[in-house]
Amino acid sequence: MTIVEHLTELRRRLIIAMVAVTLGAVVAFVLYNRILHVLIRPYCDVLPRGRSCSLFVTGPLEPFAIRLKIAAYGGFALASPVVFWEVWRFVTPGLRARERRYALPFIISSVVLFALGGLVAWLTLPKALQFLVAIGGHSLTTIFSPDKYVTLVALMIVAFGLSFEFPILLVFLELAGVLTSRRLAGWRRPAIVIIVAFAAVITPSQDPISLFAMAIPMYIFYEASILIGKLLKR
């Protein structure tokens, strides 16, 4: 394909992905109240019993802005299978016929790993919030605004979801011949440092609980990618 043909194909894939995200955002916009009710549960678990866990708005435009934000994040989450599929369809022309057979496993594993990352973020969030609230001391009263709270929750889920795509990237590079299992095995020690540093930077909450909750699975995925690469090359 020429450069123009590649750009045309990229535009087509981007349009399809954007339409899917838009449709998902409409669904999330309609289900806003239910989604918000679920999102504030970790916050309610942190607060003492009997205390209201309502989120407090500080401006007249904030309720509408938070609804749009939840719709945007929800749209991406609902459309993620389509987005991953379009990404794969864009890169498949550059692969061999043998490598194209991995399209379905690629899509399924991408969606499952992203969902798994979001689940780990959700399970980690209460402990992370507890740490963040307690670190300030007893003299501070916790009152969260919906904008900052929902942004933190959404970024946590997205950050964990994307970080859990790490083995997909490594296996893809192995299939493409850019990396080898032997080379990855030789990079174990620096990989640990890079993974921990990456988790420290990408974790939105910046707390040690979330850091290790992300770094430990990523290193497990690193070792799994070495094993998978060896099996695929047989």
Per-residue confidence (pLDDT) for residue 26, from 0 to 100: 95
Please give the Cα distance from 99 to 24 (Å, whole number): 31
Residue that the structure tokens 């389509």 belong to:
82
For the chain, how far is it from start to end, CA to CA, in angstroms? 31
| 15-60: pLDDT as tens digits | 999 999 999 999 999 999 998 888 888 888 777 676 677 788 878 8
3-class DSSP assignment, residue 140: coil
Residue 168 CA: distances (Å) to CA of 72, 103, 164, 227: 25, 12, 8, 13
CA-based nearest residue to 168, from 102, 89, 75: 102
- The DSSP secondary-structure symbol of 178 reads S
Per-residue confidence (pLDDT) for residue 76, from 0 to 100: 86
In order, the DSSP letters of 21-46 are: HHHHHHHHHHTHHHHHHHHTHHHHHH
- Amino acid, res. 168: I
Per-residue confidence (pLDDT) for residue 16, from 0 to 100: 92
Please give the Cα distance from 78 to 81 (Å, whole number): 7
Q: Tell me if 115 sits within 8 A of 201, measured CB to CB.
A: no
Per-residue confidence (pLDDT) for residue 176, from 0 to 100: 72
Look up residue 137 and give its two tokens: 């001391």
| 175-223: pLDDT as tens digits | 777 778 888 888 888 999 999 999 999 988 888 999 999 999 999 999 9
Per-residue confidence (pLDDT) for residue 97, from 0 to 100: 61
If 0-12 CB within 10 Å is exposed, 13-18 middle and 19+ buried, where does residue 167 land?
buried
How far is residue 220 CA from its own chain's centroid?
A: 17
Please say whether the dihedral angle defined by the alpha carbons of residues 182, 184, 185 and 189, taken in this order, is positive or negative: positive
Per-residue confidence (pLDDT) for residue 98, from 0 to 100: 60
Please give the Cα distance from 45 to 144 (Å, whole number): 14
Mean pLDDT for 157-184 is 84
Please give the Cα distance from 180 to 144 (Å, whole number): 47
Quote the domain boundaries for residue 147: 3-232
Please say whether the dihedral angle defined by the alpha carbons of residues 192, 195, 196 and 197, taken in this order, is positive or negative: positive
- The domain total for the chain is 1
CA-based nearest residue to 214, from 195, 194, 227, 191: 195
